[in-house]
Amino acid sequence: MATHSQTAPSRAAHPQAEAPRAGQGSPALKWAALAALLVVALVAPFQLYPVFLAKALCFALFACAFNLLIGYVGLLSFGHAAFFGSAAYVTAHAVKVWGLTPELGILLGVAVAALFGLGFGFLAIRRQGIYFAMVTLALSQMVFFLALQLPFTGGEDGIQAVPRGYLFGVIDLGDNLAMYYFVLAVFLAGFLLIYRTIHSPFGQVLKAIRENEPRAVSLGYKVDQYKLAAFVMSAALAGLAGGTKAIVFQLASLTDITWQMSGEVVLMTLLGGLGTIFGPVVGAFLVVTLQNYLAGTQLPVTVVTGVIFVVCVLLFRRGIVGEIGALLKGRG
Amino acid sequence: MMELLGIPPQVLFGQLLLGLINGSFYALLSLGLAVIFGMLNVINFAHGAQYMLGAFAAWMLLKFAGINYWVALVLAPVLVGLIGVVLEKLMLSRLYKLDHLYGLLLTFGLALIIEGMFRHWYGVSGQPYPIPQALAGGHNLGFMFLPTYRGWVVAVSLVVCFGTWFMIERTRLGAYLRAATENPVLVQAFGINVPVMITATYGFGVALAGLAGVLAAPIYQVNPLMGSHLIIVVFAVVVIGGMGSILGAVLTGFMLGILEGFTKVFYPEASNIVIFVVMAVVLLIKPAGLFGREK
């Protein structure tokens, strides 16, 4: 039991129900479904509160970024809140104090998150499996203490009352609808980037590493460089989500950067389905909705979150999208 | 008055003592993690919550049953250990055939549930737990004042750590354990009940966390969140020490506690992150950890 802890390829992230590869299945049906989803996304803010939807989209992007690592490289990072949170702080500070436009503020946040990702990734990929998780977790705790102690972060209060500002200096993001469409655009850009990456030759190498790392090494791939590249990309996208969230809520706070937040994004991905394209999105919407609902009840949120975690791990490890995919496959 | 490196000795030794005490807890907790990891290959994320459970068990025994510290010191770890046994039987044992990450995720969920429930019931304010009469007061060592209870914590931690090390490395039972971590199937074939051994090991590791909790109760207050910060530091300790050896976990725990104490004297702002910085440096030089074996 103890002998193969470090060398075994990660089975946590098997794509039990991988989304159909391009050119397989029925592409017409797939595109129709995507178009329908897009229409729903465009119409949704007229039915539901746009800020709630924007929040869900931010977390969906965050979960997708996290899933790029766990689902397609087999690396469980437990420190992704560090990227999400640091980008939120940098964006909030840049927009509020330096008066940058929101898109520039977010870009700056993404750059900082990517830099952190480079440093963390460089250290963390030296260890594998659960050690990798522990290293990323510990490093992210370091960022948490920085956020608590650095002079510009506002300590326990965070950075509040961040102006949403004018996108490109023109579009007023103070309007919730405009804000929502901006977040939707950011989400789609990030999502498509991840989608393209997964289905590129680069993505195929990542999957090969996940399946059998020694074999990928023997085929001549510089595995560490691939892992690091994926890590930086995931960190940058998590930063994109965090920076955007800071603009939507006009707030960057310690909550964004605690390890509980890292756990939350793990839960979203696990609940939706590790290694599925849409799983993290579904998981994020469910968790955000649930939290919104629980906030109005007497039930303690962390306990409910923990119960879902345990149930997911014990009973349906494929997650919702994964289980549905497996069902469809079994029938077809 | 004599000064050492420009710092009054009272301050220096005071912080070193604090560091040593923190080190005692790091050592006890990383020891428990190492024992569990050795046998189950699970990083027990619930370790911090189980440490908190130990402290609350002692507090509840005193408050609701009037049971004193000395009895609680034995009874609370046993109770917490039994909870561990139940968790292992009901949940963890279902995951051994899967990737080890699932063990980490399950125990993470358990930690959320346990801490969330206590936070719901008791809020975030701490419950005071009195220092037992026999250990109240302190001694003047000439160069510093040593509170008796703190000396006691360090002593207990050293004894328990040494005892555990001795049991695993030097006794017959320990030999079975080590053999079973290498090749469970073979050991099972020799007629040793490996699943029971695994359950007992998890219970024992969890009991160690519970014991640390009881020891901590009079020093820090009994607080639902007392474990959640500590556990991350202990993870860093584990990464620095390397999971290879029991001795490594203990030595690294004490060393880093003392280092943290030093940092508090000379550069207080960095004291929260010094352990993580050490972790980064160690990873650069020895990715397997100071006492770990490279695989």
- A305 touching B (Cβ < 8 Å): yes
| Angle, vertex CA A109, rays to CA A104 and CA A115, nearest 5 | 125
* C-alpha span between A67 and A268 (Å, rounded): 10
User: Do strands A171-172 and B138-140 pair parallel, antiparallel, or not at all (unpaired)?
Assistant: unpaired
Which phi and psi angles does B148 have, rounded to 5°? Answer: -60, -40
Minimum CA–CA partner of A119 in chain B: B280
- A313 touching B (Cβ < 8 Å): yes
**For helices A259-272 and A279-294, what crossing angle results, to 10°?**
120
* C-alpha span between B132 and A307 (Å, rounded): 37
Q: What is the pLDDT of residue A2?
A: 37
Whether B109 sits inside 8 A of A146 (CB atoms) is no
Residues of B in contact with A309 (CB under 8 A): 105-106, 108-109, 112
Q: Which amino acid is at A34?
A: L
Distances (CA, A) of A144 to A17, A83, A161, B26: 35, 10, 21, 20
Which phi and psi angles does A299 have, rounded to 5°? Answer: -70, 135
* C-alpha span between B43 and A152 (Å, rounded): 36
- A141 touching B (Cβ < 8 Å): yes
- A133 touching B (Cβ < 8 Å): yes
Q: What is the pTM of this model?
A: 0.88
> How is A15-38 classified by DSSP, letter by letter?
-TTPPPPTTSS-HHHHHHHHHHHH
Q: What is the pLDDT of residue A16?
A: 42
Q: Which of residues 26-65 of A touch B (CB under 8 A)?
A: none
Measure B61 CA to nearest chain A CA, in Å. 24
Whether A306 sits inside 8 A of B235 (CB atoms) is no
Which phi and psi angles does B7 have, rounded to 5°? Answer: -115, 135
Nearest in space to A178 (alpha carbons), one of A190, A169, A194, A166: A166
Handedness of CA B180, B181, B182, B184 (dihedral sign): positive
Measure B73 CA to nearest chain A CA, in Å. 28
Measure B109 CA to nearest chain A CA, in Å. 4
Whether A313 sits inside 8 A of B95 (CB atoms) is yes
Q: What is the pLDDT of residue B294?
A: 58
CA dihedral B134, B135, B136, B140 (to 10 degrees): 120
Whether B113 sits inside 8 A of A6 (CB atoms) is no
The residue among A313, A315, A316, A317 with the most chain B CBs within 10 A of its CB, best to mutate, is: A313
CA dihedral A18, A23, A29, A31 (to 10 degrees): 90
Nearest in space to A130 (alpha carbons), one of A51, A172, A77: A77
CB contacts < 8 A, A to B, total: 141
Q: What is the pLDDT of residue A18?
A: 42
- A265 touching B (Cβ < 8 Å): no
Distances (CA, A) of A15 to A30, A74, A279, A316, B252: 19, 10, 11, 14, 39
Q: Which of A123, A133, A141 sits opposite B104 (nearest CB)?
A: A133
Ranges under pLDDT 50 in chain A: 1-24, 332
Q: What is the pLDDT of residue A331?
A: 59
DSSP assignment, residue B225? T
Q: Which amino acid is at A82?
A: A
CA dihedral A59, A60, A66, A69 (to 10 degrees): -170
Residues of B in contact with A300 (CB under 8 A): 116-117, 119-120
CA dihedral A171, A175, A178, A182 (to 10 degrees): 80
Do B132 and B70 contact (CB within 8 A), yes or no? Answer: yes
Q: Which distant-in-sequence residues (6+ apart) come within 8 Å of B109 by Cβ?
A: A305, A306, A307, A308, A309, A310, A312, A313
Do A61 and A186 contact (CB within 8 A), yes or no? Answer: yes
Residues of A in contact with B113 (CB under 8 A): 302-303, 306-307, 310
Q: Which distant-in-sequence residues (6+ apart) come within 8 Å of B9 by Cβ?
A: B1, B2, B3, B143, B144
Q: What is the pLDDT of residue A169?
A: 76
- A314 touching B (Cβ < 8 Å): yes
**ipTM of the complex, rounded to two decimals:** 0.87
| Residue A252, strand partner residues | A159
Length of chain A: 332
| pLDDT tens, residue order, chain B (295 aa) | 455 566 777 778 888 888 999 999 999 999 999 999 888 888 899 999 999 999 999 999 999 999 999 999 999 999 999 999 999 999 999 998 888 889 999 999 999 999 999 999 998 888 889 898 888 888 887 777 888 999 999 999 999 999 999 999 899 988 988 888 888 889 989 888 999 999 999 999 999 999 999 999 999 889 998 998 899 999 999 989 888 788 888 999 999 999 999 898 888 888 888 999 999 899 888 888 888 765 5
Whether B40 sits inside 8 A of A1 (CB atoms) is yes
Secondary structure E strands in chain A: 166-167, 171-172
Burial class (CB in 10 A: 0-12, 13-18, 19+), B285: exposed
Q: Which of A7, A145, A263 sits opposite B295 (nearest CB)?
A: A7
